[in-house]
Amino acid sequence: MRYLRFFGILSKVTGNEPGEIQAAKSSRGQSYPGRKMDEHINTMKKQEVHIRGLRIGGGRSCICVPLTAKTLPLLDAELASLAGHTYDMIEWRADLFEEIPDRKTLQDILLRIRAAIGETPLLFTFRTKNEGGEGCCSGPKYRDLLLGAAASCVVDLVDVELFTAAGNAQVLVGELHLLGTAVIGSSHDFSGTPSAQEMRSRLCRMQELGMDITKIAVMPRTRQDVLTLLSVAVEMEEHLGDRPCVTMAMGPLGVLTRISGSLTGNAITFGTCGAASAPGQLPCNELADILQWTHACEVR
């Protein structure tokens, strides 16, 4: 049956359902009345996320290009350089900016990005130092920053770090949903590759918390680490996952995981149009060519 899972999350968080949500639920297949999240589709088991016409989790990996500039002039140059490149989504790595912006500055920067990228889905990410980024905030400050981005009416998806949000994760996810944004739950391990059991546990925990897309990135030390990550990805795709999942092994050893596409059910892969935001990322145009070729082979 086709249904809108998003409303179930709202009901759990708020304890009631606004009139417009009840009306939408009564009309099967109607899109969520918010500004960006189109709908969640569940066919038998696996859900998809549709945002601004982009289908995430439908088998073919979406290409996301990160913006990594530290200043406004460099950000403008980075946005201008997107012309002629192939991508499906844009990520703004706000933690790499020269300073954490206040609400007004954050709104201005996001509007600047939206003006440049048009209707391309926009992911807001503030990667903390514990997860391999440059961000230093946590607790209420981390929450306020993510909610400020969501309240801008510009951002489509917000990255929520599983361990940074910790005990407040479920409430934060609900607040972000109420503001109309989808949530990518994430966990990053730059020190190595956790056990298969630990990786499965993290991804399943993200599902339990209501995160719309689950993501784990690890640093392989051996080829076996890469195979362990790939096996977890396949297990999530075939047995444990009920929504789009993103998995990657970073660095040169992990390049294969970035181009695995529908073989492992990898919903999003990150490619560069300038500086990389993580080790092992490929140029987005080359990545697009590889994914197009592999997808063509799979559907023959």
Taking Cα atoms as reference points, which of 124, 111, 232 lies closest to residue 183?
A: 124
Distance between CA atoms of residues 95 and 141, nearest Å: 13
295 assigned to active site: no
Catalytic residue among 70, 215, 239, 295: 215
| 188 burial via Cβ count (<10 Å: 0-12, 13-18, 19+) | buried
Asked if 7 and 40 count as a contact pair (C-beta separation under 8 A), the reply is no
Q: CA-to-CA distance for 104 and 51, rounded, in angstroms?
A: 25
Only one residue has tokens 């290009």, namely 65
- 188 noted as active-site residue: yes
Q: What is the DSSP secondary structure assignment for residue 191, as one 8-state letter?
A: S
Helix axis angle, 139-150 to 103-117, nearest 10° = 40
Which pair of structure tokens corresponds to residue 132?
A: 């391999």
Nearest to 206 by CA among 173, 266, 142, 162: 162
Q: Which of 36, 50, 177, 188 is catalytic?
A: 188
Q: Which residues neighbour 277 within 8 Å (Cβ) at sequence distance 6 or greater?
A: 66, 68, 91, 93, 96, 127, 270
Q: Is 65 buried (19+), middle (13-18) or exposed (0-12) by CB count in 10 A?
A: buried
Distance CA 213, CA 177 (A): 13
Give catalytic residue positions. 188, 215
